[in-house]
Structure 1
């Protein structure tokens, strides 16, 4: 049984409907509650379930953003950011309404809860909140035009997915023009279900691409360890190593070779962390070609074809398009305190 509380809203999830009914009766006896039945909508998240799996999206929230910004009738875009776009701090004249830009980026940030396809773009736009320029706003409008094309897109969790953690780790060396810091991106799957991801600028400057890739490996390893603890809390046994894929042979060599090389002396803590988890068999490293690296979408802007190829592999889809006419029921139960 999992019980999630936000102020006076409570979500219940269990593999036993009988246990849910018993807990709801107990809570109603102790505090007066109102049973809203199977979960449909919660804090902007729309939840639907069928025999094929569970879908999470924020369609209404996305349409509200488009309506409020006056772009509900804009021309749709196939992907959120041009592949050759490199935004900088002072690349054009200041935008006339910085507060509106900040509000928009904040709303887009909340949208990334179910939209990993927006994570990289929103991460880039978030770097210019202090002094947004006209070009930064144009890039944000492009994201909204992509949103116009895909308002109902979200995560899909197949019901037949196996209980095997798989992770993809990647970095874009010196991806930030202003600071020369690299971008870390990772995507973690439980079977075929994407359950965790990140697109974030690294805290320190990496002196080589191998160092940047290795820092990304360390960040991904920490996330894997946290997910293992979360699965244990839910009484789910995951004794096998997590499969961790990287497209950097240099980073793999550093992780598996105990000898300290000249290029690794700046990242010794990360080296010890990853090697320790390798020895504990928490993770198992595999090389994957860059063209098959799913975390690419979280480290750099991709063109239309590679962008949509990764989305399909990540099970990011729009049930309003892909499953139109299917029979969808709802998975969780929601109650509120009276």
Structure 2
């Protein structure tokens, strides 16, 4: 406890002041390994204003790693020690004196100058300080992903991906990579973890021919926690004849079990596009899951048992061209009759982005459902192209969109105003 208090004093986290009248200081949690403030007692507009802090998108991580594989760039990982203790607070936050800390005068409290773990705004303040430091040293942010930082020195490039206190660093400027490591260590005391091997539960294996991403350990832990490590494997994540809906089966007595399981499956889709559709179907029933929904979720787990180490493969030798595939399932949802959108994107031979999502409106024909799916795919194409343009990466050929519906292709090739396609002109003709 004394070492913890000494570190906080060295960091100038607070100063002792007389407790203002009418102010109720924030408490602390005494059952943690470090001093943690009780942020749940904070009041919005008084103790904090904004709490949002951006983190890098999974698609951005995969896109940058695929580029690093093709360009043969080194990839490093950094970790920041006590990241949340570095953020400067802009609001007045008072905290009761921690145990073992003796005040020279009665009725005093700690006025926090820097953030503590547990405060609502800690993550935002840390990101604000880190981003200002990087911008002051010549890095740029892209509006496509605010946690992607890039610096250009002639034809050399340095890229940082930031996910709270985990940082991935890559590029072809060896001197700049070393320089930014030194700058970050000088300000935040970082840990240089060397070549990227394990990041956000994702295992990264690098060789001369490829980079492989998987979540094997995460998947095995999921199977073990669910008690299905010895279950009989299944050949598919979900039977094609299975249609989940809000049935009249008995509700689960403890829906938290189902919600936690589906939440972990959603995170597993970071490297497992093969369970994306099944996970999307299961996530519709988080509010009131039944036994049939839980049974379908356990079927996905039995499928994962067949190959827990399956993941993504980013080859070194590949062309930089964007290929996208679009599809839809018309009126798939039995409850709302809304259609499903499905798309995926390859950068050369590397699968970098995918999604299964229910459409926001009811399509009146399979052609309309397919065309709306194509419009959503087009938006994602534009986003990926914006990221590549920001990185000054030029694909060798224009992007290609693949669609298997002939009517949709005819409408895309001839976007002529028609009475029956008036609503399509408003929503979808950006294709």
Shared fold, TM over 0.5: yes
Query: Aligned ranges for residues 1-338 of structure 1 at < 5 Å?
Result: 1-238=158-395, 240-274=397-431
Native 8 Å contact 1:255 1:271 kept in 2: no
Deviation at 1:189, TM superposition (A): 0.6
* Secondary structure of 2:267's aligned partner: helix
* Aligned residues of 1:211 and 1:263 also touching (Cα < 8 A): no
1:106 Cα offset (Å): 0.5
Unaligned runs of 5+ in 2: 1-157
Range that drifts further, 87-96 or 249-258: 87-96
SS in 2 for 1:238: coil
8 A Cα contact 1:91 1:135, kept in partner: no
Measured against aligned partners, the alpha-carbon deviations of 1:16-42 in whole angstroms (never above 9, x if no partner) come to 444322321232233322211111111
Q: Across the two proteins, how many residue pairs are aligned to each other?
A: 274
SS at match of 2:354: strand
When the two chains are superposed, the root-mean-square deviation of aligned CA atoms in Å is: 1.4
Bigger-Rg structure (1/2): 2
Unaligned runs of 5+ in 1: 275-338
8 Å CA contact retained: 1:254, 1:271: no
> Quick check: 211-220 or 21-30, which moved more?
21-30
| Structure-1 residue corresponding to 2:83 | none
**Deviating more after overlay: 86-95 vs 203-212:** 86-95
* Partner SS state of residue 149, structure 1: coil
Large movers: runs of 4+ above 6 Å: none
TM superposition score normalised by structure 1: 0.78
Cα contact 1:168–1:245 (8 A) shared by 2:
yes
Higher relative CO (CA 8 A, sep ≥ 6), structure 1 or 2?
Answer: 1
Three-state SS of the structure 2 residue aligned to 1:5 is strand
Cα distance in 1 for partners of 2:428, 2:166 equals 43
Pairwise CA distance, 1:239: 6.8
Contact 2:367–2:407 at 8 Å: present in 1 too? yes
**Is contact 1:182-1:206 (8 Å) kept?**
yes
SS of the aligned residue for 2:343 comes to strand
